Structure 1
C-alpha cells in the first residue's frame, strides 16, 4: 500500500451510536438474517466498506470484554475472521482488529489463545510488526502509531504467555525475526516509555525456556539490555522497565560470555535490590495525595476558565466534531480520535506509577524465585521436572558463557554471594509482611485504586514463595543463623495465627505453607527450638487440608510429618502423635487425590518410624490394622486411576510409596511382636 504517515490519517466521523456516518446507511440495510450479535458483527467483517469493517472490529473489541459473550464469537471462528484484517488495506481496520484480538486473548484465556495459534494469527501479527516498524521507525512516530504498536505487542504477549501451544507460537515468533523490532522499541525508552514497556514485557515472555531464540542472541542484544539495566530514571515506569530487562537477562543467562557474567549479574541483582527497597506502603499514600492535589488544581483552573469564558475574556477555538472526551493529540491542527481499546494507556499518572511499582516488585520476586530453585527435587516434590534443554550452541561466540556460573536450577557460589551482598533475603522477608493498612485503606475507599489491593497481596505471596525457595537452597548461616531462623518462625507465626481464624485465601495458603514447610525442615535438621506449637501447626494443617489446591494439602501433610517426626524424639508426646496420626490416616483414606493420599502415607512413615513415644501412639490408634485395610485400596486406585490422571513422575513417586507402605507394615508387625 506504499509508505504512509500516521499524521495524514484521519478517523471517520462517528454518530451518536458509534457508527461511521458514511457507513450508517449500509449497516442499517445489511440485515442478512443472522440471529445473534456475534454473528451479525462477524458478518460485517466481510463488508466491502472499510468503515463498516472498522465499526465491527471496534464493537467486537468492546463486547468481548464481557467474558460471557466470548463463546458465541469462538463458535463462529472469530479469530480466523479477524486475523486477515490485521493486514487490511485500511489502517483504521488494522488498528481496531488488533484491539479486538488483544481483548479476546486477554479476556478469553487459554481457549482463545489456542484458537489464535491454531488459526495462525502469529503470522499476520508478526508481519504487521515488521511492516509498521519499517514505515514508522524511519520517520517521526506519532502517538497514535505508538498506541497501535503497543497494542500489537500486547496481543503478542498475551498469546505467547497464555497459550498452551506456546511452543508453536514461539517458533513462529522466532522465525519471523521480530527480535530486532523488540530491541528498537526498547531503545526508545527515553522517548516513549509505554512502547518500551510493551517491548520489555514481550522480550521477558519470549526469552523464557526458548532455546531456539537463545541461538539468536548476540552482543548487540545483551548490550541493549545492559544499557536499560544501567539507566538512571527514577520513576516507577523505568523501575519496571529495568526489572523486566533483568528478567530477560536471567532468561538469557546461558548466552552470557564468561568475561561479562560477573558485571552483568551485579547489575541484575542491583536492579532487583533497588526495586525491593521501595516501600509501597509509603509511596501509594503519597501518590494518592498527589493525585488529589492535582485534581483540585485542575478543578480550580477549570472554574477560572469557565468564569473567563463567561466574561468573554477567552478566545474560543473552533473544534471538530470529534474533539471531545477520549480524543487524542492534535496533528496539523486536527484531533485524532482514540479508539477505546487504548483507554488503558490514558489513566491517571499516579495510579500508573503505583501499578508499575507493584508489578516491578512482583516481577523482581519471581526472578529471585527462579534463581533459588533447587536442582535436586526431593522425593516429596510432586512438580514435573523441567524438560527445557539450553545446551545448544549459540552464534556470535556466546556459547562459552554456558558454564556453571549461571547454569539452570543451580544456586552457584556467585549467585549465592550476589544475593547476600545485596541483602536480598532481608528485603524478601520484609515483603512477606501484610500490606500496609494505610495503603489498603486508601485503595479500599477509591474505586479506581481498588485494583491495587490484589496487587499488594500478590507481592506478599511472591515474597513468601521466594522465602520458601531461599530456605530450601541456602544454608542457615547465610540466612543469619539460628537466631535469624527463630525470628523468621516468629514472623510466619504472626502472619498465620495473629487473626482469630487462619486466612483461607488459596494463594496465601499455598505460599505460606510452602514457607513454613521449608522452615520446619531446616529447623528440625539444625535442632533449633521454634515458637510454633504443635497445636498451632495442626490447626494450620487442618485449615490447609480443606483447601481445593492440591499443593496446599500436600504442604499441610508435610508440615504434620515434620512436626510429628520431631516430637517422636521427645518424651511425653504420645498423645500429640496420636492426634497427628489420626489426622494423617483420615486424609490417606478419604482424599480424592492420590498425590495427597501418598503424601499422607509418606508423612505417617516419618512420624512413626522410630521411638518409644511413636510406638505407643501407633498402638493406641491401631495404626497397623488401619494401614493393612488401606493398602489394597491404595494399590487399586493407582491401578485404576493412575495412568489417566497423573504424570509419569507422579506415578513413579506413588509406586515408591506403595512399596514403602508394604515395608512399613512389615516393620509395624515386628514392633507388635516385641
Structure 2
C-alpha cells in the first residue's frame, strides 16, 4: 500500500494588492455606449500624457481602481497601457510615480499569469528597476517634516516592490531579470527600513520569500549584506502583528536560502528560524482577534457620531467590498480532478484606517505562513546518488564571495538535514504547537467576526490556519519517528483529537479544504499506529462513515486517502480473531469504490487496499469467500483495463 505523500507549499500565486484610491471617477453608463475610441480605458490612457501632474496622477489613480474589475484589463492591454504607464514610474512628480506604480501593481495582481507575462514582454522590468534604484538612493535624503508623516519615497518604493513581487511570482522571465539586475540588494535595502516603515519591509519580505524559493541561480548572488538584513529582522523585537509577519517571512526566506548559508552560521540560523516560527504559533489568535475587534469598536464609540456605526453594505468603501468578495476562495478544477483554490487575497485594498483589521490579517497570515514553512522543512527532497557525488567532489574553489558555497553545505545537506531540523522542531515543541493549531477556531472569535461585514474574511482565515495546521501535522507524522512524537501515548492522544474533530459533531464536516487536510493527517497517523502495533481509538464504523462522506467529495486526494484509511484499518483487523464480519463490510466498500469511482487513481488505491486487507489470515479468507472477492475482481478486470486504455488514448 502506497505511503501518503507530503505536500510542499508554494507561495500563493497571487497576493493581490494595490493602492487604495478614493479619488476615482465612476464610469457613467453613457460612456459605456460610446465607441471604442471613447471608452474609459482610452480616455484615461490619453490623460496620462497630460502636461499637468495632477491630471496624470488622477488618471493613474483611476486606472488603479478600474483594473480591480478584471474584465476591464484586456481593454487596457490592447491599448498598450503598460508602455504608457511605464515611463510615469520615473515621472518628476512623486505622487505620479506612486499612483503609476499602484496602477501597474493592481494590473499585475488582478490579472492572470498571462497579464504578468505580457507586462514583462512590454519591458516593464526596466523602469521598475530604475525606479527602485532611485528610491533606495533617496531613502535617507527624503524630507519628512513631522514625526508621524510618512516618507513619500518609501511609499513609492512600497508600490514598486509589490509590483515586482507580483511579476516575479507569475513570470519566469521577470524572475530571470531579478536574478541578473541587482534587484536582490535593492529589495534587501527596503527590508532594512523595518525600524521606520514596517509596511515597506513586509512587502520586501514577501518579495524575497517568493524569489528565493527554488531559485538556485539567485542563491549564487547571495552576500553578507542580504544575510545581515534578514538576520537583523529575525532578531528584531518590534511589537505588533505586522512585525510578527515580517519576522516569519524573514525566517522563510532564510530557510529557502539554506544552501547558501555560511557553514559557521548554519546551526545558529536554523535555531533562529525555528524559534521565530515557534513564537508565532504561540500566539492565541482567538484571544487576540477578540481584543482587536473590541479595540476597533471602542475606537468607533469614541469617534464622531457620523462614524460611530459601520456603514451599511451598500455604502461600504469599494476597496472593502472587494476584500469581502474576494475572501471567498475561488475553486478551480485541475486536470487531476482536484479542486484547487486560487489565493485571491485583497486585504491590502482595505481603507488605511482599518488598523485592527490589518493587524488581525497580519497575525493569521503569519501563522499560516509559519505552518507552510514547517511543511516545507519536512519535505526537503533527498538528492540522487549523482548529486551526492557532485556535492562531495566540490572543493574550496567552489566558494563564492563572503565564503558562501555554490552547492549544498555539509551541515545543511540532506544526509543530516533531517536530524538537524527534527532536533530543532522537537526542542521548540513544534509538533505539540501544530496539534494545538488543528483545533477548531474559537467560536466567540468567529461569532464576533461574522457580526461585521468587513471582518467576515477573518473567520475564513482562521479556518484556513486550522487546515494548514492539519496539513502540517500530516507532514510531521510522515517524517518523524514514534518516540519523537511522544511514543504510543502521544499518538493515541493525537488520534483521539482527530477523532473529535471529524466525529465530534452530528455530521462529518463537508468543507473540502478541511476534509482534505484532516483526512491526510488521519491517514499518516493511522499508518504510524498500525506499523507500530499501537491500539487506536477510531472504530471501523466511524471510518466507514468517513469513507462514505469522502466518496461525495470532488477532491480526488480526499477519496484516495479515505480508501487508504479503510485499507490500513482492514489490514490491522485481519490479524485479530472474530473480525470477519467487519472485514466483509470493508471489502464491500472497497469493491464499490473500485467499481464506481470515476477516477482511475481512486480505483487503483481501492484495489491496492483490497490486496492489503485480504492478503492473508483466516479471518480475511472467510470474509473474502463471503463477499465473493475473487469473482468480483475478475469482473472488475476488464472495466479497469478499459479505463487505463481510455486514459492512455487521451491527447497530451
Distance 1:586 1:82 in 2: 59
2:520 is matched with 514
Distance 1:76 1:632 in 2: 57
Distance 1:587 1:512 in 2: 20
Q: 2:153 aligns with which of 132, 145, 169?
A: 145
Alignment of 1:17-416 (within 5 A): 17=25, 33-34=36-37, 36-38=39-41, 40-42=43-45, 53-73=56-76, 78-79=81-82, 82-87=85-90, 91-140=94-143, 142-161=150-169, 163=170, 166-299=171-304, 344=350, 346-373=352-379, 375=381, 395-396=400-401, 397-399=403-405, 402-407=408-413, 411-416=417-422
- Report if aligned partners of 1:258, 1:400 keep a CA contact under 8 Å in 2: no
Number of equivalenced pairs: 579
Distance 1:16 1:64 in 2: 12
1:502 is matched with 508
SS in 1 for 2:538: coil
Instruction: Find the structure with the greater CA-based Rg.
Output: 1
Distance 2:347 2:368 in 1: 26
| 1:442 correspondence with 2:448 | yes
2:631 is matched with 625
Greater shift, 624-633 or 238-247, is seen at 624-633
**CA drift at 1:267:** 1.2
Q: Quick one: higher RCO (CA 8 Å, sep 6+), 1 or 2?
A: 2
1:110–1:238 Cα change, 3 Å: same
Distance 2:520 2:248 in 1: 25
Q: 1:590 aligns with which of 579, 590, 596?
A: 596
**CA drift at 1:62:** 1.4
Distance 1:139 1:546 in 2: 60
SS in 2 for 1:547: coil
- Report if aligned partners of 1:214, 1:255 keep a CA contact under 8 Å in 2: yes
1:22 is matched with none
Computed over aligned residues only, the root mean square deviation of the Cα atoms, in angstroms, reads 3.5
- Report if aligned partners of 2:24, 2:62 keep a CA contact under 8 Å in 1: no
**CA drift at 1:591:** 2.9
1:501–1:69 Cα change, 3 Å: farther
Distance 1:506 1:626 in 2: 32
Distance 2:117 2:627 in 1: 52
**CA drift at 1:75:** 5.8
Greater shift, 409-418 or 390-399, is seen at 390-399
Distance 1:16 1:558 in 2: 55
| 1:538 correspondence with 2:544 | yes
Structure 2 unaligned regions, length at least 5: 1-21, 145-149, 309-318, 320-345
2:608 is matched with 602
- Report if aligned partners of 2:158, 2:203 keep a CA contact under 8 Å in 1: yes
- Report if aligned partners of 1:255, 1:394 keep a CA contact under 8 Å in 2: no
Q: Deviations over 1:289-347 (max 9, x none)?
A: 222223333338999xxxxxxxxxxxxxxxxxxxxxx9xxxxxxxxxxxxx99864713
Greater shift, 489-498 or 99-108, is seen at 99-108
**CA drift at 1:36:** 4.7
Q: Deviations over 1:335-360 (max 9, x none)?
A: xxxxx998647132222222211111
**CA drift at 1:471:** 0.6
Distance 2:88 2:391 in 1: 37
- Report if aligned partners of 2:347, 2:358 keep a CA contact under 8 Å in 1: no
Q: Deviations over 1:368-393 (max 9, x none)?
A: 1111126479xxxxxxxx9xx99995
Distance 1:159 1:481 in 2: 47
Distance 1:302 1:630 in 2: 68
**CA drift at 1:524:** 0.2
1:620–1:36 Cα change, 3 Å: farther
Greater shift, 227-236 or 569-578, is seen at 569-578
**CA drift at 1:50:** 5.8
SS in 1 for 2:505: coil
- Report if aligned partners of 1:53, 1:93 keep a CA contact under 8 Å in 2: yes
Greater shift, 489-498 or 562-571, is seen at 562-571
Q: Deviations over 1:216-264 (max 9, x none)?
A: 1122221221111111123211111111110011001111122111111
SS in 2 for 1:461: helix
- Report if aligned partners of 2:24, 2:61 keep a CA contact under 8 Å in 1: no
| 1:483 correspondence with 2:489 | yes
**CA drift at 1:494:** 0.7
**CA drift at 1:91:** 4.7
Q: Deviations over 1:623-653 (max 9, x none)?
A: 323333333443343344247578xxxxxxx
Distance 1:505 1:427 in 2: 23
1:337 is matched with none
Report the TM-score, using the length of structure 2 for normalisation. 0.81
**CA drift at 1:279:** 0.5
- Report if aligned partners of 2:64, 2:104 keep a CA contact under 8 Å in 1: yes
